[in-house]
Structure 1
Amino acid sequence: MFGSSHCSKILSALPPNRLLALDVFRGLTITAMVLVNNPGTWAYVYPPMLHATWHGWTPTDLIFPFFIFIMGISIAIVMNRAIANATDKSVLIKNALIRALKLFGLGLFLALFYFNFVDVSYSWIEAKLQTVRVMGVLQRLAIVFFFTVLIVLYFGRVGRAVWIGCLLLGYWGIMMLVPYSDDYGNVYQGLLQQGNSLTAWLDNYLLGANHVYYAKAVPFAFDPEGILSTLPAIAGALAGVFTGDLLSSDEVENSKSVTKASASHSLTHLLIKQSKIMLAWGLCLIVIGELFGLVFPINKTLWTSSFVIMTTGWALVTLAILTWLIDIKGWKNWSAPFVVFGANALLFFIFSGIVARVLLMIPVGKINLQAWIYVELYQPVFGSLNGSLAYAISFLLLSYLVMHLLYKRKVFFKV
């Protein structure tokens, strides 16, 4: 499936001067997300493939902020051209709002797409529609996308940097200084506990306990993609915008239009310069994020400011390494499958979510098809942990067949 000729064919069809690192980064990120979201059973998962229980982080915690960072890069690349060609910003705002609403709607669709055929007494209206989870991955992406576009439209580099500072420091200040109370009159302030924080309090009273992920948390039900915790996520996207500006600067565009004899040397020189800048900034942000975490703990569920800074640092380091490996050293063949996944990242996410839910819906005796496949086929051969991982890898490989077919036919899903 992933032979040299197969990979070469994919890469040879790309534009000659295309910078692959960003495409591969997007593909690696969506691949990682689908991998960790689809184990054979949640009872047996290797710890690095799980989110941190609370404070701290695992490699899995990097995936979602990487997506937000990549979205920021894409916004910069697209918006820079759109702003240059547009005379009316209201058109750009309208287009951004429509896209955000579509993303939000797709998130709600995935939240509602499930029916328990195993339980004859199951009521979809009661179990899903009346208790639909309002927020989620796509919903957060939608909100972050729209507000990032607004900031990019109305603020320059300095303004965007100020926004990043205000969002991160402001979120920290709000979380630690603003008091809140429960229904019994107990007043809290500065707590960062599961079910007891300002963001949990806000989710509980604005969204309601029936419409969040952690519905049984006490004293406040909350969502890991909650309302208040979405604010610092915008800062992560704006960091991506700065990176996108670096990658699409006039200097880069000019290097692609010079004579063929000097184009390769010029572009390589620029890529080395860019990768060094990204690596330096990335390492600095990782250190700053970890140090900030000593006073405002790194926490993916709360999406703390230290978490945003740290994950942005790792995103920059990852992109710098990929740029060096792929676009500077020319080690490209291995990256072809991730180019395919990255080209249809949104469709891949939705497709994997639908297929995973369908496997859970189909009854096989007293269990569902997904559980039966794991218990009967994977666990006996590979064992519990490795069987769960093998199932997830098989899910990826089968998904690749579909994504590659769509890629060959140039079918790309956009909103």
Structure 2
Amino acid sequence: MTNPPINQNDPEINSPVSSSHTASKRLLSIDALRGFDMLLIAGAGSFIVLLKGKTGISAIDSLAGQFSHPAWNGFSFYDFIFPLFLFIAGVSLTFSLNKGRALGMSKKTLYRKTFTRMLVLILLGILFKNSPVPFFEPSQIRFGSVLGRIGIATFVATLIYLNFDFYKRLGAAILILLLYYAALFLIPVPGYGAGDLSFEGNLVGWFDRTFLPGILKQEIFDELGLLTQISALCLTIFGTLAGEILGKAWLDIKKIKYLAVAGVIGVVLGLIWDLHFPINKHLWSSSFIMLTSGLSFLTLLLFYVVIDVWKIRKWAFVFQVIGLNSLTIYFAYSFIDFRFTSQKLFAGLYAPLGEEWHPVFQAFGALLLVWLFLYILYRLKIFVKV
């Protein structure tokens, strides 16, 4: 069963969730949440880590400890940041595709646009991970990337969204996670056998060592490789479910209920699954996907309620400016040395403080500069998108 053409302004939607009208207004909560996530990716996380052990406040030290990845199994807040972005990509995708269909675009046109976007993001991801790119030594290029993962996930999610209804998309995501679970436990790895989830013996690492060209992040393993893409794209599929819920012209309380239930179920299933298939960000294990999907539903719910239901919006402007130019901030922090500029501009202000505080204020100044840069683009209405 395919979804019928959707008009964002008024017509009926034939959906297994409900037949209702879609909301026409832009949800500021989505932009703000994307900006919040990108800020953590781009530099806020590093700033918090630099505060560890300097303030004497145990809560800050504990928070700073959450900004590092576990060596293998386990979970920290830092593990949640990229999955949240994949989820948000799915939320935004529903509104983008619905708008395209409302404008009369065919499925073929939407496929082509999303496919082209995927290719561009893959290329940008290779540039970002390898700059300067060793063009004449392809064996030294790392092909796995964050941007490539986003591009692939959104393309596959587009195919699924335009051809399957709400419950079939949900079923597809669950089936993918079950098959991924079965594959890692049942397919034998040469020299290790089946069901070995260690760093050296897991199926993911063997598959990438065998079939992924170029270099891997950790020589024998790359969490942004081929097999982990399969489970990771489920986050974007789950995001399309959240986007469809938000797109309904339901009462807010009904949207809140659906998002809350989905979030709690995701977290509970992830924790239960962890008992046999450990939560592992490196493997993008099925339990990890369910846990982070549930947390993503709940985080989206929080932003939606505060910003779009309660209309408490002034605080969100800081994140909105970033969210509207997420690709810009991602590349800006890599190719522009904001910390160097921060040191040049502000070092005289924090020079009297102890030297251990200098990196903290330098990082804060860099965050301020990058936000001002994005604010100028916002005022000029320049939004870099692919």
Relative to the length of structure 1, the TM-score reads: 0.77
2:167 aligns with 158
Q: Quick one: higher RCO (CA 8 Å, sep 6+), 1 or 2? A: 1
| Cα-Cα RMSD | 2.9
Q: Shift of residue 353 of structure 1?
A: 1.9
1:400 aligns with 2:368: no
Q: C-alpha offsets along residues 173-226 of structure 1, whole Å, 9 cap, x if unaligned?
A: 001110121xxxx24211112232100001111125x511111xxxxx111111
In structure 2, list runs of 5 or more residues that go unmatched. Answer: 1-23, 54-63
Name the CA shift for 1:348/1:275 in 2 (closer, same or farther; >3 Å): same
Q: C-alpha offsets along residues 91-136 of structure 1, whole Å, 9 cap, x if unaligned?
A: 2211111010011111111123249xxxxxxxx668x864111011
Q: Shift of residue 89 of structure 1?
A: 2.0
Q: Shift of residue 53 of structure 1?
A: 1.9
2:204 aligns with 199
Contact 1:41 1:388 in 2 (8 A): no
Please give the secondary structure, in 2, of the residue aligned with 1:278: helix
1:232 aligns with 231
Q: Shift of residue 19 of structure 1?
A: 2.7
Contact 1:66 1:311 in 2 (8 A): yes
Q: C-alpha offsets along residues 146-171 of structure 1, whole Å, 9 cap, x if unaligned?
A: 11111112222232122111111110
Out of 7, 20, 45, the residue aligned to residue 28 of structure 2 is: 20
1:334 aligns with 2:305: no
The CA distance in 1 between the partners of 2:358 and 2:277, in whole Å, is 38
Q: Shift of residue 88 of structure 1?
A: 3.5
Q: Shift of residue 299 of structure 1?
A: 0.8
Q: Shift of residue 272 of structure 1?
A: 3.1
Name the CA shift for 1:60/1:393 in 2 (closer, same or farther; >3 Å): farther
Out of 97, 109, 122, the residue aligned to residue 115 of structure 2 is: 97
Please give the secondary structure, in 2, of the residue aligned with 1:229: helix
Q: C-alpha offsets along residues 352-383 of structure 1, whole Å, 9 cap, x if unaligned?
A: 12225x97xxxxxxxxx69x99xx99899466
1:180 aligns with 2:185: no
The CA distance in 1 between the partners of 2:41 and 2:351, in whole Å, is 22
Query: 387-396 or 88-97, which moves further after superposition?
Result: 387-396
Name the CA shift for 1:380/1:149 in 2 (closer, same or farther; >3 Å): farther
1:189 aligns with 194
1:242 aligns with 241
Q: C-alpha offsets along residues 274-294 of structure 1, whole Å, 9 cap, x if unaligned?
A: 123212221221111111111
1:365 aligns with none
Query: 189-198 or 96-105, which moves further after superposition?
Result: 189-198
The CA distance in 1 between the partners of 2:355 and 2:299, in whole Å, is 33
Kindly tell me the number of residue pairs found equivalent between the two proteins.
350
1:324 aligns with 305
The CA distance in 2 between the partners of 1:387 and 1:175, in whole Å, is 47
> Which AA in structure 2 matches 1:227?
L
Contact 1:40 1:391 in 2 (8 A): no
Relative to the length of structure 2, the TM-score reads: 0.82
1:290 aligns with 2:271: yes
Out of 212, 215, 222, the residue aligned to residue 211 of structure 1 is: 215
1:121 aligns with none
The CA distance in 1 between the partners of 2:321 and 2:44, in whole Å, is 19
Query: 300-309 or 128-137, which moves further after superposition?
Result: 128-137
Percentage identity across paired residues of the two chains: 29
The CA distance in 2 between the partners of 1:87 and 1:114, in whole Å, is 39
Q: C-alpha offsets along residues 321-347 of structure 1, whole Å, 9 cap, x if unaligned?
A: 112222222321111110100010111
In structure 1, list runs of 5 or more residues that go unmatched. Answer: 1-15, 116-123, 216-220, 253-269, 360-368
The CA distance in 2 between the partners of 1:40 and 1:18, in whole Å, is 32
Out of 59, 71, 79, the residue aligned to residue 77 of structure 2 is: 59
1:30 aligns with 38
> Which AA in structure 2 matches 1:25?
L
Contact 1:286 1:314 in 2 (8 A): yes
Q: Shift of residue 388 of structure 1?
A: 4.8
The CA distance in 2 between the partners of 1:114 and 1:380, in whole Å, is 38
Contact 2:30 2:92 in 1 (8 A): no
Name the CA shift for 1:203/1:176 in 2 (closer, same or farther; >3 Å): same
